[in-house]
Structure 1
C-alpha cells in the first residue's frame, strides 16, 4: 500500500521553513492631474437655459482642447436641466430652469495646468475644482515597488537564516498582499473658483506644485533553509 506524505506547513528539522514579509514604500512624482469643471446656466424658460448651457459648455471644451497634447483626456459627466418651482400659491408653477454639466479633464503637462485652471475659472458661471494628482495604473512605479518588496523579503529571510548559521535553500511561496496602493491623490484644493470671485483684469496663472505620490507594496514569502547550527 502506497502512502502519500503531506508536507508540513512549518517544515521539518531537516528542511526548516522561514516566513517573512517584504515591504516597500516609494515616493514619486505624479504622472497626471485631473480637474473638474462645472458649467451652470439659469433662465426663465427651459430653452433659454439649455441654449446658455450649450454655449458655455462649448466654450469650456474649446478652451480645454486648445491646449493640445497637454490634455490627455476630456470627459463629459453628469448633465441636468432642473425646473425650480415657486413656493407660493396652490399650483405648481415653474419659476426658473437650472442647467448644469460636469466635465473632467486629465492633463499630463503640468506647466499648462495653472494657466488653464485660471482661464476656466474666469469663464461665465463656471466652477473649477482640483487638481487631483495621480499615477497611471500601469505606472513603472508600481512595478518598482513590487520588486523592491520582494528583494526586501529575500534579504530579511537571509538575515534570519544567517542568524541561525543556516542558508536559504529554496523559495516555497511568494504571495501578493494586495500589492501597491497609491495614497489618496486629492490635494488640499480650494473650493471651486467662479467668475464672480475674479472680476476685473485677467488673473495671473496659478502656481500649482505637483503633489508627490506614495506607492506601497507588500509580499509574504516562505523559504526553506539548511539545518541551523544551534
Structure 2
C-alpha cells in the first residue's frame, strides 16, 4: 500500500475503504441520587420570619450532615425572603414575610436515602423533591460502553469485508460521537414529597421510604474507517 493510497479520502480500487458506525447501549444501576430540599418560614415581621428560617435551615443541615459519608455533597442554593402584600383601602400594606432556602443533597447510600427523605419530609414547613438518579462522570459504565461500541465497529466492518471476499487491513480513523449518560438525572415516578407537618417524635415518626433505584441508560457511538484488501467480485 503506497503512502498516496493510504491518504485517499475514499480509498482506491487497490486499497478500498469501509466506513461503519459502532454503537452500544447499556442498562446499569445508578451510583448516586440527588434530592432537593426547600425549607420555608412565614412571620408577621421580617425578623421573626428570618429567625425561623435560620433555625429550620440549621436543623436540616445538621440532620443531613449526621449521615456522614453517606452524603457525598450538600449545597445551599437560592435564598429569598419577601413581603406578602395585601390591599388596605387604596394602599397596599405588608401582611407578612415569607422566606425560603433551597438545599440539594447527593447520596450514594440508597438505604440512608430512604430514611433521610422520610425524616426531612416530616419536618416543619419542609418540602422534598426527587430523588433524581445518576451515574458519576467517572463511572466504569461509560468506558465499558465505549469499548463495546469500538468492538461493534470492528465486527461490523469485518462482516462487510467478508461479504465481499476481503479482509480488513488497518484502522484509518476512529471518531467518538459521544459516550455519556443520556439523562444524567431522571426523576423518580414518585416525583415530589411534601410536608407541612409540625414535627414528630421518634415513636410516631413515619417509616423510611422503600426507594427502588431507577436504572440508567449509557450510550456510546463511534465512526470508524478501515482499509481492506481488494474484494473478490
Q: TM-score, normalised by structure 2?
A: 0.92
Structure 1 residues 120-139: Cα deviation after superposition (integer angstroms, max 9, x where no partner)? 00100000110000001111
Q: Which residue of 2 aligns with 1:146?
A: 146
Q: Which residue of 2 aligns with 1:90?
A: 90
Question: Which region of structure 1 is more displaced relative to structure 2, 132-141 or 173-182?
Answer: 173-182
What's the offset of the Cα at 1:195? 3.4
Partners of 1:182 and 1:9 lie apart in 2 by 32
Whether 1:202 aligns to 2:192 is no
What's the offset of the Cα at 1:205? 0.7
Q: Which residue of 2 aligns with 1:134?
A: 134
Q: Which residue of 1 aligns with 2:40?
A: 40
Partners of 1:47 and 1:187 lie apart in 2 by 37
Conserved 8 A contact 1:129-1:189: no
Conserved 8 A contact 2:177-2:222: yes
Q: Which residue of 1 aligns with 2:70?
A: 70
Structure 1 residues 41-100: Cα deviation after superposition (integer angstroms, max 9, x where no partner)? 000000000000000000000000001111111000000000111123222311100000
For structure 2, the 5+ residue unaligned runs are: none
Conserved 8 A contact 2:124-2:199: no
Cα distance change, pair 28–79 in 1 and its aligned pair in 2 (3 A): same
Whether 1:222 aligns to 2:214 is no
Conserved 8 A contact 1:14-1:227: yes
Partners of 2:88 and 2:8 lie apart in 1 by 79
Whichever structure has more strand as a proportion of its residues is 2
Partners of 1:30 and 1:123 lie apart in 2 by 28
SS of structure 2 residue aligned to 1:21: strand
Q: Which residue of 1 aligns with 2:194?
A: 193
Partners of 1:121 and 1:102 lie apart in 2 by 14
CA RMSD of aligned residues (A): 1.9
SS of structure 2 residue aligned to 1:132: strand
How many corresponding residue pairs? 227
Partners of 1:180 and 1:67 lie apart in 2 by 30
Whether 1:168 aligns to 2:164 is no
What's the offset of the Cα at 1:28? 0.8
Partners of 1:23 and 1:168 lie apart in 2 by 19
For structure 1, the 5+ residue unaligned runs are: none
